[in-house]
């Protein structure tokens, strides 16, 4: 399976399939990366022991010189400190303007390695090799960044990869919670633009959670294709691309307040998507949107409620600091129905506060 992200001169392919890791060397040759230029593979401490050797072997086989930098697994590595360490490795290895950075891992590795590629010598080649379900989202679209202690993804760039090589075999070793977390972004793509696909996800939730190859291959292809279309129409988020942020305003606040890592990214945005559906009801949309959204997320073993210990004031504060906040009003992506959303620029803070209270009340 292959999808193209259509961005004129910067268009690139997403290859999705089995056995792609051992073809990486060939793909780099086809992409025109010269053998004299060293390649830098960035991976993390969970992924590297499982898959790095295969990637290195494939590159060596073609005659590339390769240096690998393995970061500690986890969001904390998406930092300016680790960024500098990877840059140091790149300089020491003598990467030049024709070199490329290969990101072997999930969204953390992809975002960090992508920002290294975007900034090293003002930009060198970049290849995404996602190994999580969530990374079907993060590896497509060219947003790369590291976190600042005060704000997530605050230092970054738009920088498109040369290609995305998505080897589904790597997903077999993902921990179950990471599977669910990634599926939150998959179903998000259905919720924003593809009603049928959103319901399909609910119907096939068990297969997806069990990593059934056929179901997962289809879901990731649909997810990537929807993301590719949105990015192709609005690369720099001047308008419609913002719909991809469904659930993210509340989700990012949950991540920030809970400390990075308490809820996984997909779990936090699942709660955020439930919140957007509550907001939709408040703004006059059908209550059934909330019920269907919750049933889809629950089927995928995702949380839809906010634990009681989350403080409303802290969450509101975190949202004020979010870059999506402008001139006293808040911007939210609000579902109009399952499979269609609007960008609403004048959401009242009081409504958001009520939604948060409701997210806590519905459960615990
Ligand atoms: P992650 O990269 O931390 O991976 C999750 C965990 O799974 C890590 O512990 C990792 O070591 C482990 N892992 C990865 N692949 C594995 C495998 N095949 N087998 C076993 N373990 C494996 O997190 P993620 O969920 O992939 O990505 C989250 C990050 O992505 C966040 O930082 C988020 O901000 C970012 N993100 C970016 C974009 C974007 O457009 N750039 C979009 C969405 C999310
Ligand atoms: Zn996300």
In angstroms, the CA 25 to CA 19 distance is 13
Whether the CB-CB separation of 302 and 184 falls below 8 Å is answered with yes
pLDDT digits (tens, 9 = 90+) for 235-270: 998 889 999 999 999 998 998 888 666 899 999 999
Whether the CB-CB separation of 316 and 327 falls below 8 Å is answered with no
What pLDDT is recorded for position 325? 58
Ranges of residues in the chain whose predicted pLDDT is under 70: 259-261, 322-328, 362-364
Which residues are catalytically annotated? 122, 143, 185, 227, 237, 241, 245, 248, 252, 265
What pLDDT is recorded for position 364? 41
In angstroms, the CA 104 to CA 279 distance is 38
Nearest CA to ligand 1 atom 20: 174
Question: Strand 329-337's sheet: what is its strand order?
Answer: 325-326, 329-337, 340-347
What pLDDT is recorded for position 151? 79
CB burial readout 197-219, b (16+ within 10 A) else e? bbbbbbebbeebbebeeebbbbb
Q: Which residues, judged by CB distance below 6 Å to any ligand atom, belong to the binding site of ligand 1?
A: 44, 46-47, 73-75, 78, 105-109, 111, 131-132, 134-135, 137-138, 141, 143, 153, 170-171, 173-174, 178, 181, 265
Domain boundaries 176-361, CATH class = mainly alpha
Domain at 2-172, CATH from 3.40.50.1970, 3.20.20.100, 3.30.1370.100, 3.40.190.10: 3.40.50.1970
What pLDDT is recorded for position 102? 98
pTM value is 0.93
Nearest CA to ligand 1 atom 17: 174
Tell me the two tokens of residue 269. Answer: 């945005």
Tell me how far the alpha carbon of residue 98 lies from the centroid of ligand 2, in angstroms.
Answer: 31
Tell me how far the alpha carbon of residue 184 lies from the centroid of ligand 2, in angstroms.
Answer: 9
Every domain of the chain and the residues it spans? 2-172, 176-361
What pLDDT is recorded for position 336? 98
């Amino acid at each position: 399976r292959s999808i193209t992200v259509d961005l004129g001169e910067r268009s690139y392919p997403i290859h999705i399939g089995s056995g792609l890791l051992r073809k990486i060397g060939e793909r780099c040759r086809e992409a025109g990366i010269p053998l004299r230029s060293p390649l830098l593979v960035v991976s993390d401490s969970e992924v590297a022991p499982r898959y790095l050797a295969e990637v290195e072997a494939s590159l060596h086989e073609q005659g590339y010189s390769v240096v690998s930098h393995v970061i500690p697994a986890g969001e904390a590595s998406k930092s300016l400190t680790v960024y500098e360490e990877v840059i140091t490795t790149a300089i020491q290895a003598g990467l030049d303007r024709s070199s490329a950075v290969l990101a072997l891992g999930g969204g953390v590795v992809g975002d960090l390695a992508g920002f290294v590629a975007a900034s090293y010598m003002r930009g060198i080649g970049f290849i995404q090799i996602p190994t999580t379900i969530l990374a079907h989202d993060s590896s497509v679209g060219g947003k790369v960044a590291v976190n600042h202690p005060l704000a997530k993804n605050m230092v970054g760039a738009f920088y498109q990869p040369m290609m995305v090589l998505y080897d589904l075999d790597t997903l077999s070793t993902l921990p179950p919670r990471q599977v669910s977390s990634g599926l939150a972004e998959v179903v998000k793509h259905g919720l924003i633009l593809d009603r049928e696909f959103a319901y399909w996800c609910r119907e096939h939730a068990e297969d997806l959670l069990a990593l059934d190859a056929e179901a997962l291959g289809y879901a990731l292809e649909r997810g990537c294709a929807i993301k590719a279309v949105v990015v192709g129409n609005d690369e720099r988020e001047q308008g419609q691309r913002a719909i991809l942020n469904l659930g993210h305003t509340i989700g990012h606040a949950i991540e920030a307040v809970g400390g990075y890592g308490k809820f996984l990214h997909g779990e936090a945005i699942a709660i955020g998507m439930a919140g957007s559906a509550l907001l939709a009801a408040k703004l006059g949309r059908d209550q059934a949107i909330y019920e269907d959204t919750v049933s889809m997320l629950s089927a995928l073993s995702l949380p839809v409620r906010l634990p009681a210990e989350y403080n409303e004031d802290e969450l509101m504060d975190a949202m004020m600091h979010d870059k999506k906040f402008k001139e006293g009003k808040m911007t939210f992506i609000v579902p109009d129905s399952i499979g269609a959303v609007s960008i609403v620029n004048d959401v009242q803070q009081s409504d958001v506060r009520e939604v948060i209270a409701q997210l806590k009340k519905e459960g615990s």
